[in-house]
Chain A
Amino acid sequence: MNHDDMQEKLSAYMDDAVSTQERSAMEDHLAGCAECRKALEELRKTVAQLKNLEQVEPPTWLTQKIMAQVRSKAESRKSIWQKLFFPLHVKLPLEAVTALFCVVIGYYVYQSVEPTMKLAEAPVQNQRSMVVRQESAPAAPPPAQPASLPAKEQQSLTAEVREDVKDEMKVKAPAAKAEGKQRARGPAVGYREKEPVPAPPAHTAETTAPRKAMGLAEGERDVKARSRPGTKAAAGLADTLAMTDAVVSRVTVVVTNIEKASAEIRDKIGHSGGTVLKTDRVTNGFAIEATIPQARMEAFIDYLNKLGTIRDKNLPRVRADTPVSVRITITFEP
């Protein structure tokens, strides 16, 4: 090994970082080279000087300062992760519960709103039925469109219709299938009954005329009709009678034998296709309440005329297909 190579490897030789062969060759050279031995010795002293450097203690505050920064970093990192992703094990169930809560609330809201939504459709149907009826009555003056009504009137109209529909629903709830047809046109009927109240006279042209002819006040009929929702349903005879009280025809027959006349009149009603609803004893005679087909009404009156003397006759005109409710008072002259 030459001198230059020797100098290069002295450092590694000193650290025992040379191969066995190199070490052997270097030791042979060192044995005969004073300069290399001196160089090796100086290197050893230099390294000794370096290793003799005292370990310097860091500042006493260093740990605290490092940890203060570490904690600050940890807090900021933790808070960001907590806000965004980290607390998924908490956030996910929470979101699931919230979603479930929203669904339940939504269901109940829908349940509570659904009847109102159905009711909201009623006025539209009423308006349509009214327009159809107005078109079928050309003699009447041009009807005022419900849409052109003042907002307040429309609102009150709608509110009334809703009340009627609610009443109808209450009444019909336990009713039989037969009510189905009436229910189907329920809102229209309700509106028809309400029509005279908010609407101008043009609307009532069709309905008020016959009523006036029957000598009944519109208000009275409306009040009674509203207070007796059973008339729309299949109510009992008493209800039917009460209803016909308002539109009943009246006729008083003066006879000589009230017992016999009463029996004959009841028979005649039966033969005429009518129905005896009620027979009451009144002062000086009897009162028979019955329904008689309109077609047979004229012949029935002729029969009464032959049976005795007719007084106090009040026979309002009704439609041909409507049975006439009649109250026949049988009395005698003392």
Chain B
Amino acid sequence: MDRGTNNKFGLSNISGTVKDTGLVSAAQAGDLEAFEQLVRRHQTKVFNLALRMTGRYEDAGDVTQEVFISAFRHLGTFRGKSKFATWLTSIAVNLSRNRLAQINRRAAQEKVSLDDPLQTEDGAVPREVVSNEPSAQERLELKNAQQAVQDCINRLPTKFREVLVLRDLQELAYDEISDLLKLQEGTVKSRLFRARVAVKLCLKRVIGEL
């Protein structure tokens, strides 16, 4: 068994990787190299979360930058009660929400689209959303299933979207999502169910049979 070797952060290097806690401590002490390692380690996960939340590659890049800049600025407040990855995820969700709100405001100013998701109360949204059937043009543009899935995610209101992304794409546990979004676990389950049903109906309409 690889027992690891000591590194400059004073922690054992298990299987060739340094634990986040060591890098975080070093970064908190002003070691930018350690922070860069954290960036390299988590940027893909953060970027994909932002991408699935915003649905746009450029916005995902911007949000990812904002997430790490914010994390660096508030590094001193991180006490290690949760995992660094979870802390980063919560920042990413908040900043993705903000970016999504900007995108929606911009879209609302440019034109009122029939494809925009409706901001309704829990329970009413998924059925109404799926009732907005993609246009023929959109069908042609959806080259593959991947794009179809992303398009269906994009049609979800933010509060359903974030639960779906965190559970089915980021693979967080229910209790983690509950803590992160500060929701009751029952609410998480309910929102997740409705989001999944909405995506199912969307996919069935876009690509036919599942």
- What is the interface of chain A, defined by CB distance below 8 A to chain B? 8-12, 15, 17, 42-43, 45-47, 49-59, 62-63, 65-67, 69-71, 73-74
Contacts A11-B189, A52-B145, A56-B57; A67 near B32 (Cβ below 8 A): yes
A50→B168 contact, CB < 8 A: yes
CA distance A270 to B168 in the complex (A): 137
Contact in complex: B196, A45 (CB < 8 Å): no
Closest chain B residue to A47, Cβ basis:
B168
Residues of chain B with a CB closer than 8 A to A42's CB: 200, 204, 210
Query: Would A43 and B61 count as touching, CB distance under 8 A?
Result: no
Kindly report which residue of chain B lies nearest to residue A78, judged by CB atoms: B30
Contact B68 A70, beta carbon cutoff 8 Å: yes
User: Is B43's beta carbon under 8 Å from chain A?
Assistant: yes
Binding site for A on B (CB under 8 A): 30, 32, 35-36, 39-40, 43-44, 47-48, 51-52, 57, 60-61, 64-65, 68-69, 72-73, 145-146, 149-150, 153, 164, 167-169, 174, 189-190, 192-193, 196-197, 199-200, 203-204, 210
Q: Distance in Å from the Cβ of A40 to the closest Cβ of chain B?
A: 11
CA distance A57 to B40 in the complex (A): 12
Closest A residue to B50 using CB positions: A58
Residues of B within 8 A of A52 (CB): 145-146, 149
List 29 contacting pairs A-B, 8 Å CB cutoff, sorted by A: A11-B192, A11-B196, A11-B197, A15-B174, A42-B210, A43-B196, A45-B210, A46-B200, A46-B203, A46-B210, A49-B145, A50-B149, A50-B153, A51-B169, A53-B149, A55-B44, A57-B44, A63-B36, A63-B43, A65-B65, A67-B35, A67-B36, A69-B65, A70-B36, A70-B39, A70-B68, A70-B69, A73-B72, A73-B73
Inter-subunit contact B197/A66 (CB<8 Å): no
How many residue pairs, one in A and one in B, have C-beta atoms under 8 Å apart?
104
B190 near A8 (CB under 8 angstroms)? yes
Report the Cα distance A81→B74, complex, angstroms: 16
Does B200 contact A69, Cβ atoms closer than 8 Å? no
The secondary structure that dominates the A interface is helix
CA of A58 to CA of B58, assembled, Å: 10
Structural contact, B169 and A50, CB atoms closer than 8 A: yes
- Chain B residues with CB under 8 Å of A54's CB are 146
The 7 closest A-B pairs by CB, nearest first: A11-B193, A58-B47, A46-B200, A45-B210, A50-B168, A66-B68, A12-B189
**Smallest Cβ distance from B203 to chain A, in angstroms?**
6
From the candidates A12, A49, A65, A73, name the one contacting B203 in the complex (CB within 8 A): A49
The distance in angstroms between the C-alpha atoms of A42 and B196, with both chains bound, is 10
Taking a contact as CB atoms closer than 8 A, the residue among A11, A53, A57, A62 that contacts B169 in the complex is: A53
The complex places the Cα of A56 from the Cα of B72 at a distance, in Å, of 24
Task: Tell whether A49 pairs with B43 under 8 Å between CB atoms, given A15-B174, A42-B200.
Answer: no
Beta-carbon nearest neighbor of B65 in chain A: A66
Asked if residues B32 and A74 are in contact (CB atoms below 8 Å), the reply is yes
Q: If A63-B40, A70-B32, A74-B32 touch, does A17 touch B174 (CB 8 Å cutoff)?
A: yes
Q: In the complex, what's the smallest C-beta–C-beta distance from A38 to chain B, in angstroms?
A: 11
Min CB distance A3 to B, Å, is: 15
Chain B residues with CB below 8 A from A45, complex form: 200, 210
Complex: chain B residue closest to A11, CB-CB: B193
Is the pair A49, B210 in contact by a Cβ cutoff of 8 Å? Answer: yes
- Among A10, A56, A66, max chain B CB count under 10 A is at A66
Whether A56 and B48, one on each chain, are in contact in the complex, defined by CB atoms closer than 8 angstroms, is yes
For A62, give its contact among B47, B51, B145, B197 (CB under 8 Å): B47
Task: Pick from A67, A73, A74 the residue with the most CB of B within 10 Å.
Answer: A67
CB distance from B67 to the nearest CB of A (A): 9
